Structure 1
Amino acid sequence: MALIKHLPRDSALQRELHGEAAEWSVTDHLLAATVDHLAVANWMFQCVNASEDGDQPDPPQPVPRPVTKDEDQDEDEDQEAGGQDERGPGTETPEISPGQLARFFG
């Protein structure tokens, strides 16, 4: 079990279990978040300093991030149940499965 638990991130088992997310390190996630925040800051600056014609720039698209197989299945179930992908201020907090908790706390 110790050998399997400490396999490298690019191993075939890790890729099979976690998909493309296995190849992303913490640094990659932090870099994607930094790029997203910088893009939003630039977008807000453009909105505030836009011409008076009312032409607002489109909001930036976030950097695509890998989705684990479990998250992919959860999204498919949400869409089948009529759930929304984007959480608005009036939506309820989704229930968290034990698998998601275990994955979060690692």
Structure 2
Amino acid sequence: MDLLDWHRETLSARRLALLVKHLPRESALNRELHGEAAEWSVSDHLLAAAVDHLAAANWMFASVNSEEGDQPDPPTPVPRPSYDDAEPPAAEREPDPATASTASDATPSAVQLARFFG
């Protein structure tokens, strides 16, 4: 697909917006918008939660069955991607007045597209 088709008016803005909206999770755009979180699937989050719960259960068992002075340290959770150290996701950022569109307008404006495609 040639993105210049949008400028040639052979590709509609609606179709372009649909293509961008449904990009794969591992696409460069999703990695730019969401950082490491774009690479985590639901299965990855569930697996991390299962590991954390198992570690907590083992810690509780060891805590109950150990002497008062010999308590184990609580487990550290599996590191998960966060938005704290990077830019927040696009949905949480303040809109830029030069490129802002109304909430009901799902298709990007010409200014937004030009800014995105450089």
TM over 0.5: yes
Q: For the superposition of Structure 1 and Structure 2, which TM-score range results when normalised by the shorter chain? A: 0.5 to 0.7
Sequence identity (%)? 71
Q: Distance in 2 between matches of 1:67 and 1:44?
A: 27
Whether 2:20 is the aligned partner of 1:27: answer no
| Match for residue 54 of structure 2 among 8, 33, 38 | 38
Displacement of 1:10 in angstroms is: 0.7
Q: Which residue of 2 aligns with 1:65?
A: 80
Matches within 5 A, 1:89-100: 99=92
TM-score, normalised relative to structure 1: 0.63
Structure 1 residue runs of 4 or more that deviate by more than 6 Å after TM superposition: none
Q: Structure 1 residue 99: deviation in Å?
A: 2.6
Structure that is richer in helix per residue: 1
- Higher-Rg structure is 2
Q: Output the amino acid matched with 1:40.
A: A
- The 3 A distance-change label for structure 1 pair 57 and 74 is farther
Residue aligning to 2:31? 15
Unpaired runs of at least 5, structure 1: 76-97, 101-106
CA-atom RMSD in angstroms:
2.2
| Residue ranges of structure 2 left out of the alignment (5+ in a row) | 1-16, 94-118
Q: CA deviation at 1:72?
A: 3.5
Alignment partner for residue 2 of structure 1, among 9, 14, 18?
18
Q: How many residues align?
A: 75
Structure 2 length normalisation: TM-score?
A: 0.57
